[in-house]
Amino acid sequence: MSHVFWFTGLSGAGKSTVAEGVKRRLEQDGVKVLILDGDAIRKERHPHLDFSPESIRKNNAAIAGLCRERSRDHDVIFVAIISPYRDSRAAARNMLSPNFYEVYFCAGLDTVSERDVKGLYAKAKAGEIKGLIGYSPDSVYEPPQDPDCVVDSSAQAPEASIEQFYQFVRSKLKLS
């Protein structure tokens, strides 16, 4: 059974960057890693879902199911999605425990707006995107109350975030 590291954080918080960096390092250690990236999953498997709370919850539940399906083929699964709702994350934990870890990518709105890798915050500010999670008043992000790991990507360079999370994963896999 895989160890599932369920990322949560605003768009631009560094989830995909850290997932890719840690995947490369773990593969050098002989660990089989799968990344389930939120953007790719939506595009490939759930293009019919919008960004309403109901659709976000359905998408998160489907990704948890995908983790269960793929768990025998990988040692580690990184789920790099925004996952804005506590209840969805709790449901994923219930489905995937005992090897489930909630990883909070802590980066404030100022930081992710400044990075704006995908241009989403600029579009939201211009009124071109409605309901941007954590930015729009009607689309809240609920930070975790007790995550298993916090990656403060606003306070450290990507390399430091990658190293921190790599060490956390290694500790959970009990690698020396």
From first to last of the 176 residues of the chain, give the pLDDT tens digit. 799 999 999 999 999 999 999 999 999 999 999 999 877 777 777 677 777 788 889 999 999 999 999 999 999 999 999 999 999 999 999 999 999 999 999 998 899 988 888 888 888 899 898 888 888 888 899 999 999 999 999 999 999 999 999 999 999 999 86
Residue 63, domain CATH: 3.40.50.300
- Active-site residues, by number, are 83
What would the two tokens of residue 41 be? 């999953």
In this structure, the chain runs to a length of 176
Domain count, the chain: 1
List Cα–Cα distances, 28 to 22, 24, 32, 79, in angstroms: 10, 6, 10, 20
The answer, yes or no, to whether the previous bond of 147 is cis (omega within 30 of 0) is no
Number of helices (H) and strands (E) in the chain: give both, helices first.
Answer: 7, 5
Q: What's the domain range around 122?
A: 3-173
